Amino acid sequence: MILKCRIFWFGDLNYRLYQDNILAKEFIKKQDWKALQEFDQLRKELEDGGVFKGWREGNIEFAPTYKYSSANCNRYTAGLPGRSGEKQRTPAWCDRILWYGKGVRQLSYFRSESKFSDHRPVSALFSIPIEVMKVTNPRKVFPTGTFLPMPSGKLEPIDSKGGARSTLLSLISKESVKGIGSLP
């Protein structure tokens, strides 16, 4: 059996720009993301096959996600008189989404304008092919103790009388259901 896996890694990866704050802000003002990415530490790692050998990231076509002066603010901190102890950082794309595996296609990659922190969150949408296999042992399709999330937000157990089964079956095509047989 060949295991085909795809791994997604997302969060504050804390990579910075090898760039002077003043020049970085000029690129930001012009929205020249391609020029600014020439100084991105993570892009360099990906190109050199360093720590993230074989991993990929989509095109960044949005402003750096870090470091804003404060929550509910659209100004980067670097170069501004800061509060006592506040770090003055060059803006950077610290918040990233990477993936590893074949067949992954990124459909979108963007940042949100949530202002609850000194970061702006990023999101992505992917298309991933899946392989559908014929079920040979229907008793293993719905093992005892399996729970499914219901629209109400509650977890409902799958039972022999249907339980959450109807919710699951609504997601499976009629052809697939025919091959399943009886549930435990």
Would you say the C-alpha torsion 41, 47, 50, 51 has a positive or negative sign?
A: positive
pLDDT-flagged residues of the chain (< 70): 1-3, 70-73, 78-88, 135, 137-184
Q: What's the predicted TM-score (pTM) here?
A: 0.65
What CATH homologous superfamily does 7-127 map to?
Answer: Endonuclease/exonuclease/phosphatase (3.60.10.10)
CA angle 40, 41, 43 (to 5 degrees): 70
Which pLDDT does position 172 carry in this prediction?
A: 43
Domain with CATH 3.60.10.10 in the chain: 7-127
pLDDT at 173: 37
